[in-house]
Amino acid sequence: MDNKRPKRRKDKYNPYTLHTEKGKYYISFTDANNCIQKVLISKKIFDSFNKSEFEDIS
């Protein structure tokens, strides 16, 4: 991962992880079958989740 975002504490109810790879934006989470799912998302959605994640911890 070429994620340049600073590490921050995650809320225990936050089931996803945001990251970037090769200039693309992804959200990862573990599904009901305990398999890791990685979904490509737009920058706008990434920024929205990133802002929400930051505000949850504040």
The residues near 1 (Cβ < 8 Å, ≥ 6 apart) are: 19, 20, 21
Q: What is the pTM of this model?
A: 0.72
CB 2 within 8 A of CB 20: yes
Q: Quick one: tokens of 5?
A: 């975002």
pLDDT-derived band at 4 (thresholds 50, 70, 90) equals low
* pLDDT in the model for residue 45: 96
pLDDT per position as a tens digit, 5-49: 556 566 667 788 999 999 999 999 999 999 999 999 999 999 998
Residue 52 has a pLDDT of 83
